[in-house]
């Protein structure tokens, strides 16, 4: 096998080796090529031969994603006579999508969750490239007849569905491919869904708009955010592209369907999606809240720019009380640059940085934002004064920020 693995490349000739890869994969988005997500080289064979390891550290530089894609091309080279160019284009796209969405599964360690996945990944890759078949778990077995873990299971199911869909909708394949190629999706399109194929092109149109406006517009349709694990930290869309990648991934079920609902509603909301149409949605929402005297947390988040710093889009929110929301500066924890969003809008210059921006410090007194009030306390923690917020069913019936500015406690 080793001799064949080297000899098979000779059939392409010296001048074609680099072009072989460029024929099927690209760093840019084109409909007939798989777009590489975290890989910035096209000629994988050359990169493997010249940059496999770092001589100064003795560590491997040729990453697992590159390794799997090169293995896919090796299987193509070994079986070129039975694989057409069109088949290879679709099959390498499937493998690339699986690689791009299986970062947690890409390992050969026996100690990690799922054990050494490499044998299963290689077996699955070979089947896709040579046979055009995504193997079921029941046939991915090792020598002891035990299940071999492999690529991310969500992505496997999505690729199976897309294989069938492509055969049934050949006229729409280019639109699907371009959607897969989008930098925020990298091959995983469940957040839009095959059932919403008429919206494929509009996703790219939407994300040419201001990302802060997109985040606000999505919230007008529902709770477009997701909880991170079992923590009290939540991910929102922000000006940071990584926030959207985390928001759209189908790794955790928590919040995914609600996010998808909001996205589909937004994509369907206007014939043309641009910053102006998003502004109309946002302003209409703010006006409806004011007209109905119903000021839930989303009203404040959308209306007040200071709630949305140009950071990771992560917030710590107290259980059952979104009026106690803290914008995080560090992505996973409170820090001195974090802040209570309502108090930051009221008086950012007096945030108590020693207390992670959770309160205002004015003349040796503290101002806190609570579920239904603002509270003034002395240094000992005794309540000096309180400004109650009119509520109904736990929802503000008056703009608490405006009320405080009109009636400051300190």
- Mean pLDDT on 344-368: 96
The pLDDT value recorded for residue 2 is 80
Same domain, 68 and 132: yes
Same domain, 377 and 242: no
Containing domain of residue 340, as a range?
309-406
User: What is the four-CA torsion angle of 241, 242, 245, 246, rounded to 10 degrees?
Assistant: -140
Same domain, 203 and 139: no
Average pLDDT across the chain, whole number: 92
Q: Strands of 383-388's sheet, edge to edge?
A: 360-362, 365-369, 373-377, 383-388
Instruction: Flag whether 297 is in a domain.
Output: no
Instruction: Flag whether 300 is in a domain.
Output: no
Same domain, 11 and 133: yes
Instruction: Flag whether 178 is in a domain.
Output: no
Do 367 and 410 meet the contact criterion of CB atoms below 8 Å apart?
yes
The pLDDT value recorded for residue 38 is 85
Give every CB contact of residue 61 below 8 A, 6+ residues apart in sequence. Answer: 51, 52, 53, 54
The pLDDT value recorded for residue 17 is 63
The pLDDT value recorded for residue 114 is 66
Do 315 and 236 meet the contact criterion of CB atoms below 8 Å apart?
yes
Tally Cβ neighbours within 10 Å of residue 55: 7
Domain boundary residue, one of 119, 137, 170? 170
Instruction: Flag whether 304 is in a domain.
Output: no
Residue-wise pLDDT for 102-148, tens only, equals 988 877 666 666 667 888 899 999 999 999 999 987 777 766 667 77
- Mean pLDDT on 394-406: 98
Burial profile 263-298: b = 16 or more Cβ within 10 angstroms, e = fewer = bbbbbebbeebeeebbeebbeebbeebeeeeebebb
Q: How many distinct structural domains can be found in the chain? A: 3
Cα 124 from Cα 151, distance rounded (Å): 8
Cross-strand pairs, 35: 26
Do 44 and 23 meet the contact criterion of CB atoms below 8 Å apart?
no
What are the structure tokens assigned to 240, written together? 């940071």
Domain boundary residue, one of 136, 170, 204? 170
pTM: 0.91
Same domain, 16 and 164: yes
- Mean pLDDT on 368-396: 97
Nearest to 202 by CA among 265, 295, 258, 129: 265
Same domain, 22 and 121: yes
- Mean pLDDT on 349-360: 95
Banded model confidence at residue 350, pLDDT cuts 50, 70, 90 = very high
- Mean pLDDT on 144-163: 87
Residue-wise pLDDT for 170-211, tens only, equals 999 999 999 999 999 999 999 999 999 999 999 999 999 999
pLDDT > 90: percent of the chain: 76
Q: SS3 breakdown of the chain: % helix, strand, coil, rounded to 5? A: 45, 15, 40
Cα 182 from Cα 184, distance rounded (Å): 6
Residue-wise pLDDT for 211-251, tens only, equals 999 999 999 999 999 998 888 999 999 999 999 999 999 87
The pLDDT value recorded for residue 320 is 84
Give every CB contact of residue 254 below 8 A, 6+ residues apart in sequence. Answer: 226, 227
Same domain, 287 and 333: no
Same domain, 106 and 35: yes
The pLDDT value recorded for residue 16 is 63
- Give the long-range contacts of residues 124-127, CB within 8 A, separation 24 or more: 124/98, 124/150, 124/151, 125/68, 125/71, 125/72, 125/75, 125/95, 126/71, 126/75
The pLDDT value recorded for residue 33 is 96
- Mean pLDDT on 350-378: 96
The pLDDT value recorded for residue 331 is 78
Instruction: Flag whether 185 is in a domain.
Output: no
What are the structure tokens assigned to 29, written together? 């988005």
Banded model confidence at residue 253, pLDDT cuts 50, 70, 90 = low
Same domain, 197 and 152: no
Same domain, 116 and 214: no
Nearest to 278 by CA among 224, 219, 197: 219
The pLDDT value recorded for residue 8 is 85
Same domain, 230 and 120: no
Instruction: Flag whether 234 is in a domain.
Output: yes
Instruction: Flag whether 153 is in a domain.
Output: yes
Same domain, 156 and 7: yes
The pLDDT value recorded for residue 339 is 96
Write the DSSP symbol of residue 170. Answer: G
Domain boundary residue, one of 170, 201, 234? 170
Instruction: Flag whether 298 is in a domain.
Output: no
């Amino acid at each position: 096998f080793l001799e064949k693995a080297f000899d098979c490349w000779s059939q392409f000739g010296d001048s074609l080796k680099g072009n072989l890869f460029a024929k099927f994969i690209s760093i840019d988005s084109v409909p007939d090529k798989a777009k590489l997500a975290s890989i910035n080289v096209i000629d994988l064979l050359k990169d493997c031969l010249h940059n496999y390891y770092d001589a100064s550290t003795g560590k491997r530089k040729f990453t697992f994603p590159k390794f799997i894609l090169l293995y896919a091309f090796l299987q193509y080279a070994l079986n070129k006579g039975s694989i057409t160019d069109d088949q290879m284009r679709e099959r390498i796209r499937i493998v690339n999508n699986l690689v791009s969405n299986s970062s947690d599964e890409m390992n050969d360690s026996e100690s990690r969750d799922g054990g050494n996945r490499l044998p299963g990944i290689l077996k699955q890759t070979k089947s896709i490239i040579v046979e055009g078949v995504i193997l079921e778990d029941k046939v991915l077995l090792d020598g002891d007849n035990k299940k071999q873990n492999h690529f991310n299971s969500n992505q496997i199911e999505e690729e199976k569905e897309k294989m069938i869909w492509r055969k049934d909708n050949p006229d729409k394949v280019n639109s699907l491919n371009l959607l897969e190629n989008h930098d925020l999706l990298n091959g995983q399109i469940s957040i839009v869904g095959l059932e919403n194929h008429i919206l494929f092109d509009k996703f790219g149109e939407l994300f040419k708009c201001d990302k802060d406006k997109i985040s606000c517009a999505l919230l007008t349709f529902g709770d477009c955010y997701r909880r991170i694990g079992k923590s009290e930290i939540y991910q929102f869309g922000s000006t940071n592209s990584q926030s959207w990648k985390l928001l759209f991934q189908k790794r955790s079920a928590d919040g995914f369907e609600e996010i998808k609902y909001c996205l589909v509603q937004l994509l369907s909301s206007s014939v043309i999606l641009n910053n102006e149409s998003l502004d109309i949605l946002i302003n209409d929402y703010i006006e409806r809240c004011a007209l109905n005297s119903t000021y839930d947390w989303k009203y404040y988040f959308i209306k007040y720019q200071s709630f949305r710093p140009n950071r990771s889009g992560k917030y710590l929110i107290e259980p059952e009380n979104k009026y106690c929301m803290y914008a995080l500066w560090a992505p996973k924890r409170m820090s001195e640059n974090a802040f209570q969003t309502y108090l930051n809008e009221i008086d950012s210059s007096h945030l108590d940085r020693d207390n992670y921006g959770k309160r205002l410090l004015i003349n040796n007194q503290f101002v806190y934002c609570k579920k239904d009030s603002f509270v003034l306390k002395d240094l000992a923690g005794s309540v000096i004064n309180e400004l109650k917020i009119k509520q109904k069913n736990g929802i503000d019936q008056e703009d608490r920020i405006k009320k405080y500015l009109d009636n400051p406690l300190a």
